[in-house]
Amino acid sequence: MSVADHRAAIFQALAEGLDLRQVQERFQVSSHELQELFREVSGHYRDLAAGVWSLYCDGASRGNPGQAGAGALLLDPGGETKVRQGRYLGQTTNNVAEYQALLLGLNLALDRGIRKIQVFADSELLVRQLNGQYRVKAPHLLPLWQAARQALGKFETYKISHVPRDLNQTADRLANEAIDQKAQVG
């Protein structure tokens, strides 16, 4: 069962009248996990009301450095996918590919006039650098970090969050498809 299916089953059980304790037992979830699930859902509806778009981005590099690609997925405030795009990057590192994927997605959003965005990425380095938790030590990443900060500054509001890889599969697939398509052509 996928993560989304598992979450949907929990809400369905609650809608059918199971109490919280029964749901915890049936789905083997703790009180804390249920709280996090409710917090996530309330955040989704708050973002929906506020007109916040979601950007999922991921970079891929086959080797480090190696053939690389970037993938970006834009969802409207209702959660409907509006844009999917991958881009071949040539030879580069995984961290560069992660930043390029973010920039691809941010530019797609800005080109569409999107003003509020929630970014989801599975690169802890990228997320922590952009949230100010880590310094950018690698000189080759500094211009990409600066470009990302500049692009983010064009939004009314933005938030950058880390997501597990299994919740970022579509962006990862777009990045890898871009590499595959180049390999078939080249």
Residue 72's pLDDT is: 98
Q: Is the domain of 157 the same as that of 137?
A: yes
- pLDDT, averaged across the chain: 92
Rounded Cα–Cα distance for residues 100 and 140 (Å): 12
**What range defines the domain where residue 62 resides?**
53-185
For residue 57, give the CATH number of its domain.
3.30.420.10
pLDDT > 80? residue 70: yes
Q: Is the domain of 96 the same as that of 112?
A: yes
Residue 185's pLDDT is: 62
Q: Is the domain of 115 the same as that of 63?
A: yes
pLDDT > 60? residue 186: no
Q: Is the domain of 134 the same as that of 146?
A: yes
Neighbours of 58 (CB within 10 A): 31
Q: Is the domain of 107 the same as that of 36?
A: no
Average pLDDT of 6-22? 88
161's CB contacts (< 8 A; 6+ apart) are: 118, 119, 120, 121, 127
Residue that is last in its domain, among 49, 65, 85: 49
Helix (H, G, I), strand (E, B) or coil at 71: strand
Q: Is the domain of 103 the same as that of 120?
A: yes
Return the structure tokens found at 60.
């891929």
Question: For residue 127, which of 109, 108, 101, 104 has the smallest C-alpha distance?
Answer: 101
DSSP-derived secondary structure for 112-142: TT--EEEEEES-HHHHHHHTTSS----TTTH
Q: Is the domain of 58 the same as that of 35?
A: no
Residue 6's pLDDT is: 81
Answer for the pair 73, 175: CB distance below 8 angstroms, yes or no. Answer: no
Q: Is the domain of 149 the same as that of 71?
A: yes
Q: Is the domain of 88 the same as that of 127?
A: yes
Q: Is the domain of 165 the same as that of 93?
A: yes
Where b means 16+ CB within 10 Å and e means fewer, 136-152 reads beeeebeebbebbeebb
60's CB contacts (< 8 A; 6+ apart) are: 68, 69, 70, 71, 94, 97, 172, 175, 176, 179
Q: Is the domain of 37 the same as that of 63?
A: no
Residue 104's pLDDT is: 98
Average pLDDT of 15-36? 89
Q: Is the domain of 103 the same as that of 140?
A: yes
The pTM of the full predicted model, rounded to 2 decimals, is 0.76
22's CB contacts (< 8 A; 6+ apart) are: 13
Q: Which alpha helices (DSSP H) does 16-93 contain, by range?
A: 20-27, 31-50
Rounded Cα–Cα distance for residues 180 and 23 (Å): 43
Helix (H, G, I), strand (E, B) or coil at 59: strand
Q: What is the pLDDT of residues 108-159, one digit of tens each?
A: 999 999 999 999 999 999 999 999 999 999 999 999 999 999 999 999 999 9
Residue 183's pLDDT is: 65
Q: Higher confidence at residue 47 or residue 27?
A: 27
Domain count, the chain: 2
Q: What is the pLDDT of residues 104-118, one digit of tens each?
A: 999 999 999 999 999
Type of residue numbered 111: D
